[in-house]
Chains A and B, each alone.
Chain A
Amino acid sequence: MKRWVIILTGLVFTGFIAALIVVIFVYNKPHPDYEKIDAEYTLTAADLYQAYIANKTGAGIKYSGKVIAINGKLSKVENAGSMTICVFAFNKGMFGDEGLRCTMLPKFREQANIFKPGSAVTIKGYCSGFTDTDVILDKCSIVK
Protein backbone atom coordinates (compact mmCIF):
# COMPACT_ATOMS: atom_id res chain seq x y z
CA MET A 1 0.00 0.00 0.00
CA LYS A 2 2.76 2.37 1.04
CA ARG A 3 4.75 1.53 -2.09
CA TRP A 4 1.80 2.40 -4.32
CA VAL A 5 1.42 5.76 -2.61
CA ILE A 6 5.12 6.55 -3.16
CA ILE A 7 4.96 5.52 -6.87
CA LEU A 8 1.76 7.53 -7.44
CA THR A 9 3.16 10.61 -5.69
CA GLY A 10 6.32 10.32 -7.78
CA LEU A 11 4.35 10.09 -11.02
CA VAL A 12 2.14 13.06 -10.15
CA PHE A 13 5.17 15.13 -9.15
CA THR A 14 7.08 14.21 -12.34
CA GLY A 15 4.01 15.01 -14.47
CA PHE A 16 3.59 18.34 -12.72
CA ILE A 17 7.25 19.31 -13.29
CA ALA A 18 7.08 18.21 -16.96
CA ALA A 19 3.90 20.26 -17.50
CA LEU A 20 5.47 23.26 -15.80
CA ILE A 21 8.57 23.05 -18.02
CA VAL A 22 6.42 22.83 -21.16
CA VAL A 23 4.29 25.83 -20.06
CA ILE A 24 7.37 27.92 -19.23
CA PHE A 25 9.04 26.92 -22.51
CA VAL A 26 5.97 27.73 -24.63
CA TYR A 27 5.18 30.93 -22.72
CA ASN A 28 8.73 32.22 -23.08
CA LYS A 29 9.51 30.95 -26.54
CA PRO A 30 11.54 33.53 -28.45
CA HIS A 31 10.37 35.51 -31.46
CA PRO A 32 11.35 33.93 -34.80
CA ASP A 33 14.73 34.94 -36.20
CA TYR A 34 13.41 36.39 -39.47
CA GLU A 35 16.88 36.80 -40.93
CA LYS A 36 17.37 33.03 -40.83
CA ILE A 37 13.94 32.02 -42.12
CA ASP A 38 13.81 31.10 -45.82
CA ALA A 39 11.52 33.25 -47.94
CA GLU A 40 8.31 31.52 -49.06
CA TYR A 41 8.07 33.79 -52.10
CA THR A 42 10.59 35.83 -54.08
CA LEU A 43 9.29 38.50 -56.44
CA THR A 44 9.85 42.08 -57.51
CA ALA A 45 8.73 44.93 -55.26
CA ALA A 46 6.48 46.19 -58.07
CA ASP A 47 4.81 42.78 -58.50
CA LEU A 48 4.10 42.47 -54.78
CA TYR A 49 2.59 45.97 -54.66
CA GLN A 50 0.50 45.33 -57.78
CA ALA A 51 -0.74 42.04 -56.35
CA TYR A 52 -2.24 43.92 -53.35
CA ILE A 53 -3.58 46.75 -55.53
CA ALA A 54 -5.27 44.29 -57.90
CA ASN A 55 -6.70 41.99 -55.23
CA LYS A 56 -6.14 43.01 -51.63
CA THR A 57 -7.92 39.98 -50.15
CA GLY A 58 -6.31 37.43 -52.46
CA ALA A 59 -2.83 38.89 -52.00
CA GLY A 60 -3.42 39.04 -48.24
CA ILE A 61 -4.23 35.31 -48.15
CA LYS A 62 -1.15 34.52 -50.25
CA TYR A 63 1.48 36.86 -48.80
CA SER A 64 0.41 38.39 -45.44
CA GLY A 65 1.97 36.67 -42.45
CA LYS A 66 4.68 35.09 -44.64
CA VAL A 67 8.40 35.77 -45.07
CA ILE A 68 8.97 37.24 -48.52
CA ALA A 69 12.03 38.33 -50.46
CA ILE A 70 11.57 41.26 -52.82
CA ASN A 71 13.91 42.89 -55.27
CA GLY A 72 13.83 46.20 -57.07
CA LYS A 73 15.25 49.69 -57.27
CA LEU A 74 15.08 51.52 -53.98
CA SER A 75 13.33 54.92 -54.01
CA LYS A 76 14.62 56.21 -50.67
CA VAL A 77 15.62 55.31 -47.12
CA GLU A 78 13.68 56.94 -44.27
CA ASN A 79 14.67 57.19 -40.64
CA ALA A 80 11.91 57.72 -38.10
CA GLY A 81 12.71 57.40 -34.41
CA SER A 82 14.60 54.15 -34.01
CA MET A 83 13.34 52.77 -37.33
CA THR A 84 15.04 52.63 -40.71
CA ILE A 85 12.65 52.05 -43.58
CA CYS A 86 13.58 51.16 -47.17
CA VAL A 87 10.90 52.56 -49.48
CA PHE A 88 9.93 51.42 -52.97
CA ALA A 89 7.52 54.07 -54.27
CA PHE A 90 5.12 53.42 -57.15
CA ASN A 91 2.38 55.99 -56.53
CA LYS A 92 1.50 59.28 -54.84
CA GLY A 93 -1.43 59.52 -52.45
CA MET A 94 -2.93 61.24 -49.44
CA PHE A 95 -0.09 60.14 -47.17
CA GLY A 96 2.67 60.83 -49.70
CA ASP A 97 4.59 58.10 -51.56
CA GLU A 98 2.83 54.75 -51.85
CA GLY A 99 4.42 51.38 -52.50
CA LEU A 100 6.46 49.05 -50.33
CA ARG A 101 7.87 49.99 -46.92
CA CYS A 102 10.48 47.65 -45.44
CA THR A 103 11.35 48.22 -41.78
CA MET A 104 14.86 46.96 -41.21
CA LEU A 105 16.10 44.78 -38.35
CA PRO A 106 18.45 46.81 -36.09
CA LYS A 107 21.59 45.06 -37.41
CA PHE A 108 20.77 46.14 -41.00
CA ARG A 109 19.98 49.83 -40.30
CA GLU A 110 23.49 51.07 -40.92
CA GLN A 111 23.84 49.08 -44.16
CA ALA A 112 20.45 50.29 -45.40
CA ASN A 113 21.40 53.91 -44.78
CA ILE A 114 24.34 53.54 -47.17
CA PHE A 115 21.99 52.72 -50.08
CA LYS A 116 21.45 55.50 -52.61
CA PRO A 117 18.10 56.05 -54.35
CA GLY A 118 18.03 53.81 -57.43
CA SER A 119 20.17 51.08 -55.85
CA ALA A 120 19.12 47.58 -56.91
CA VAL A 121 18.55 45.60 -53.72
CA THR A 122 17.02 42.36 -52.47
CA ILE A 123 15.34 42.56 -49.08
CA LYS A 124 13.68 39.82 -47.07
CA GLY A 125 11.09 40.37 -44.36
CA TYR A 126 7.81 39.42 -42.72
CA CYS A 127 4.84 40.69 -44.71
CA SER A 128 2.45 42.38 -42.26
CA GLY A 129 -0.05 43.23 -44.99
CA PHE A 130 -1.44 46.21 -46.86
CA THR A 131 -2.49 49.49 -45.25
CA ASP A 132 -4.49 50.54 -48.34
CA THR A 133 -1.52 52.72 -49.30
CA ASP A 134 1.53 50.51 -48.73
CA VAL A 135 2.60 46.91 -48.41
CA ILE A 136 4.48 46.60 -45.11
CA LEU A 137 7.43 44.29 -44.63
CA ASP A 138 8.73 44.09 -41.04
CA LYS A 139 11.92 42.61 -39.51
CA CYS A 140 13.74 43.02 -42.81
CA SER A 141 17.24 41.91 -43.66
CA ILE A 142 19.36 42.72 -46.69
CA VAL A 143 19.92 39.71 -48.90
CA LYS A 144 21.86 41.52 -51.63
Chain B
Amino acid sequence: MKKTILTIICLLVAATAVNAGIFATKTGYIKFYSASPLEKIEAHNHQVNAALDATSGDFVFQILMRSFEFEKAMMQEHFNENYVESDKFPNATFLGKVTNIKDVNTGKDGTYEAIIEGKLTIHGVTQTVKSNGKFEVKEGKLSGKSKFNILLSDYKIMIPGTVTNNISKSIEITVEVNLDKIN
Protein backbone atom coordinates (compact mmCIF):
# COMPACT_ATOMS: atom_id res chain seq x y z
CA MET B 1 0.00 0.00 0.00
CA LYS B 2 2.77 2.40 1.03
CA LYS B 3 4.59 1.52 -2.18
CA THR B 4 1.49 2.31 -4.28
CA ILE B 5 0.99 5.73 -2.61
CA LEU B 6 4.68 6.52 -3.10
CA THR B 7 4.43 5.56 -6.77
CA ILE B 8 1.36 7.83 -7.25
CA ILE B 9 3.14 10.76 -5.54
CA CYS B 10 6.22 10.21 -7.72
CA LEU B 11 4.05 10.14 -10.86
CA LEU B 12 2.25 13.38 -9.83
CA VAL B 13 5.54 15.14 -9.09
CA ALA B 14 6.94 13.97 -12.43
CA ALA B 15 3.82 15.20 -14.29
CA THR B 16 4.07 18.62 -12.59
CA ALA B 17 7.78 18.87 -13.36
CA VAL B 18 7.18 18.13 -17.05
CA ASN B 19 4.71 21.03 -17.29
CA ALA B 20 6.50 23.40 -14.94
CA GLY B 21 7.75 26.77 -16.02
CA ILE B 22 6.82 30.06 -17.54
CA PHE B 23 6.87 30.48 -21.31
CA ALA B 24 6.85 34.00 -22.71
CA THR B 25 7.43 36.24 -25.71
CA LYS B 26 7.43 39.92 -26.53
CA THR B 27 7.03 39.35 -30.24
CA GLY B 28 3.70 37.59 -30.37
CA TYR B 29 1.51 38.21 -33.42
CA ILE B 30 -2.12 39.26 -33.60
CA LYS B 31 -4.04 39.93 -36.79
CA PHE B 32 -7.54 41.21 -37.11
CA TYR B 33 -9.54 40.84 -40.26
CA SER B 34 -12.74 42.46 -41.34
CA ALA B 35 -14.49 41.15 -44.44
CA SER B 36 -17.39 43.32 -45.56
CA PRO B 37 -19.12 43.32 -48.96
CA LEU B 38 -17.29 46.52 -49.93
CA GLU B 39 -13.83 46.06 -48.44
CA LYS B 40 -11.46 43.66 -46.76
CA ILE B 41 -9.41 45.24 -43.98
CA GLU B 42 -6.66 43.64 -41.96
CA ALA B 43 -4.15 44.88 -39.42
CA HIS B 44 -1.06 43.23 -37.99
CA ASN B 45 0.69 43.60 -34.64
CA HIS B 46 4.01 41.76 -34.17
CA GLN B 47 4.85 43.16 -30.73
CA VAL B 48 2.46 41.39 -28.44
CA ASN B 49 3.53 40.35 -24.94
CA ALA B 50 2.32 36.88 -24.04
CA ALA B 51 3.08 34.60 -21.10
CA LEU B 52 1.87 31.13 -20.20
CA ASP B 53 2.31 29.45 -16.83
CA ALA B 54 2.50 25.83 -17.96
CA THR B 55 1.68 24.61 -14.45
CA SER B 56 -1.47 26.58 -13.69
CA GLY B 57 -2.48 27.30 -17.30
CA ASP B 58 -2.63 31.07 -16.64
CA PHE B 59 -2.33 32.84 -19.98
CA VAL B 60 -1.76 36.59 -20.32
CA PHE B 61 -1.55 38.93 -23.31
CA GLN B 62 -0.67 42.63 -23.43
CA ILE B 63 -1.32 44.47 -26.66
CA LEU B 64 -0.51 48.04 -27.68
CA MET B 65 -3.25 49.29 -29.97
CA ARG B 66 -0.96 51.77 -31.74
CA SER B 67 1.31 48.89 -32.83
CA PHE B 68 -1.34 47.59 -35.26
CA GLU B 69 -0.23 48.26 -38.82
CA PHE B 70 -2.67 48.71 -41.69
CA GLU B 71 -2.01 48.71 -45.42
CA LYS B 72 -3.55 52.16 -45.74
CA ALA B 73 -2.45 55.08 -43.58
CA MET B 74 -5.98 56.49 -43.50
CA MET B 75 -7.37 53.26 -42.03
CA GLN B 76 -4.67 53.26 -39.35
CA GLU B 77 -5.52 56.86 -38.45
CA HIS B 78 -9.24 56.17 -38.23
CA PHE B 79 -8.61 53.00 -36.19
CA ASN B 80 -6.52 54.84 -33.59
CA GLU B 81 -8.35 58.15 -33.50
CA ASN B 82 -12.01 57.27 -34.05
CA TYR B 83 -12.66 53.58 -33.41
CA VAL B 84 -10.47 52.22 -30.59
CA GLU B 85 -9.47 55.69 -29.33
CA SER B 86 -5.85 54.72 -28.64
CA ASP B 87 -5.22 57.96 -26.72
CA LYS B 88 -7.83 57.00 -24.12
CA PHE B 89 -7.41 53.23 -24.30
CA PRO B 90 -3.82 52.52 -25.40
CA ASN B 91 -3.74 48.86 -24.33
CA ALA B 92 -5.79 45.73 -24.82
CA THR B 93 -5.32 42.79 -22.46
CA PHE B 94 -6.31 39.18 -22.17
CA LEU B 95 -6.23 37.51 -18.75
CA GLY B 96 -7.25 33.92 -18.88
CA LYS B 97 -6.39 30.28 -18.71
CA VAL B 98 -5.69 27.28 -20.84
CA THR B 99 -8.37 25.27 -19.12
CA ASN B 100 -7.02 21.90 -20.28
CA ILE B 101 -3.34 22.68 -19.60
CA LYS B 102 -2.94 19.19 -18.14
CA ASP B 103 -3.38 17.84 -21.67
CA VAL B 104 -0.44 19.93 -22.94
CA ASN B 105 2.83 18.18 -22.22
CA THR B 106 5.48 20.86 -22.66
CA GLY B 107 8.17 18.23 -22.08
CA LYS B 108 7.24 16.17 -25.10
CA ASP B 109 7.30 17.19 -28.77
CA GLY B 110 3.87 17.10 -30.33
CA THR B 111 0.70 19.02 -31.16
CA TYR B 112 -1.91 19.55 -28.48
CA GLU B 113 -5.46 20.90 -28.69
CA ALA B 114 -6.12 23.71 -26.22
CA ILE B 115 -9.18 25.40 -24.78
CA ILE B 116 -8.58 29.03 -23.83
CA GLU B 117 -10.98 31.04 -21.74
CA GLY B 118 -10.66 34.44 -20.12
CA LYS B 119 -11.37 38.14 -20.05
CA LEU B 120 -10.52 40.25 -23.08
CA THR B 121 -10.37 44.01 -22.55
CA ILE B 122 -10.48 46.29 -25.59
CA HIS B 123 -11.54 49.95 -25.71
CA GLY B 124 -11.95 49.86 -21.93
CA VAL B 125 -14.63 47.15 -22.13
CA THR B 126 -14.09 43.64 -20.72
CA GLN B 127 -15.84 40.59 -22.15
CA THR B 128 -15.45 36.87 -21.57
CA VAL B 129 -14.06 35.02 -24.57
CA LYS B 130 -13.61 31.31 -25.19
CA SER B 131 -11.62 29.86 -28.03
CA ASN B 132 -10.05 26.66 -29.22
CA GLY B 133 -6.42 26.64 -30.22
CA LYS B 134 -3.40 24.48 -30.77
CA PHE B 135 -0.05 24.28 -29.05
CA GLU B 136 2.98 22.74 -30.67
CA VAL B 137 5.96 21.65 -28.60
CA LYS B 138 9.20 21.33 -30.52
CA GLU B 139 12.70 21.11 -29.04
CA GLY B 140 11.74 22.85 -25.80
CA LYS B 141 9.88 25.66 -27.56
CA LEU B 142 6.18 26.17 -27.38
CA SER B 143 4.15 27.77 -30.15
CA GLY B 144 0.45 28.45 -30.05
CA LYS B 145 -2.27 29.42 -32.53
CA SER B 146 -5.87 30.40 -32.12
CA LYS B 147 -8.60 32.10 -34.11
CA PHE B 148 -11.85 33.57 -32.85
CA ASN B 149 -14.39 36.29 -33.61
CA ILE B 150 -15.49 39.30 -31.62
CA LEU B 151 -18.33 41.75 -32.18
CA LEU B 152 -17.32 45.42 -32.31
CA SER B 153 -20.55 46.35 -30.55
CA ASP B 154 -19.54 44.18 -27.55
CA TYR B 155 -16.58 46.52 -27.01
CA LYS B 156 -18.53 49.72 -27.69
CA ILE B 157 -16.54 50.40 -30.85
CA MET B 158 -18.82 52.58 -32.96
CA ILE B 159 -18.53 52.70 -36.72
CA PRO B 160 -19.90 55.88 -38.37
CA GLY B 161 -22.85 55.42 -40.73
CA THR B 162 -20.84 56.61 -43.75
CA VAL B 163 -18.48 53.60 -43.57
CA THR B 164 -20.79 51.09 -41.93
CA ASN B 165 -20.77 48.94 -45.10
CA ASN B 166 -16.97 48.99 -45.29
CA ILE B 167 -16.34 47.39 -41.90
CA SER B 168 -17.73 44.08 -40.73
CA LYS B 169 -19.58 43.99 -37.42
CA SER B 170 -17.74 40.79 -36.56
CA ILE B 171 -13.93 40.85 -36.57
CA GLU B 172 -11.80 37.73 -36.90
CA ILE B 173 -8.83 37.68 -34.52
CA THR B 174 -5.84 35.44 -35.24
CA VAL B 175 -3.23 34.87 -32.53
CA GLU B 176 0.18 33.25 -33.08
CA VAL B 177 2.87 33.07 -30.41
CA ASN B 178 6.28 31.43 -30.24
CA LEU B 179 7.02 31.15 -26.54
CA ASP B 180 10.43 30.66 -24.98
CA LYS B 181 10.86 29.05 -21.59
CA ILE B 182 12.03 31.82 -19.27
CA ASN B 183 12.12 29.95 -15.94
**Residue ranges of A at the interface with B (Cβ–Cβ < 8 Å):** 26-32, 60-61, 64-65, 78, 80-81, 83, 85, 94-96, 101, 103, 128-134, 136, 138
Contact = CB atoms under 8 A, between A and B. Distances in A.
A26 B24 CA distance: 40
A83 B120 CA distance: 27
B51 A65 contact: no
B49 interface: yes
Contacts, number: 80
Interface in B68-113: 72-74, 76, 80, 86-87, 90-91
A27 B49 contact: no
Interface stretch (B13-21, B59-67, B142-150): B59-67
Contacts of A131: 47, 49, 62-64, 91
Interface of B: 22, 24-27, 46-47, 49, 51, 62-67, 72-74, 76, 80, 86-87, 90-91, 182
Given A65-B66, A81-B46, A129-B64, A95 B24 contact: yes
B182 A95 contact: yes
B73 A83 contact: no
23 contacts: A28-B72, A28-B74, A30-B73, A31-B76, A60-B87, A60-B90, A61-B87, A64-B66, A94-B24, A95-B26, A96-B24, A101-B26, A101-B47, A103-B46, A129-B67, A129-B86, A130-B64, A131-B49, A131-B62, A131-B63, A131-B91, A132-B91, A134-B49
A124 to B, nearest CB: 17
A136 B67 contact: yes
A81 B143 CA distance: 14
Contact of B87 (A65, A132, A134): A65
Given A27-B72, A101-B26, A129-B66, A64 B90 contact: yes
A31 B69 CA distance: 10
Contacts of B64: 128-131, 136
Per CB-CB distance, the 4 closest pairs between chain A and chain B, nearest first, are A80-B27, A128-B66, A31-B73, A129-B90
A133 B25 CA distance: 12
A94 B51 contact: yes
B72 A133 contact: no
B21 to A, nearest CB: 13
A65 B22 contact: no
A95 B51 contact: yes
A19 B143 CA distance: 49
Nearest to A83: B46
B66 A32 contact: no
Nearest to B71: A31
A89 to B, nearest CB: 12
A80 to B, nearest CB: 4
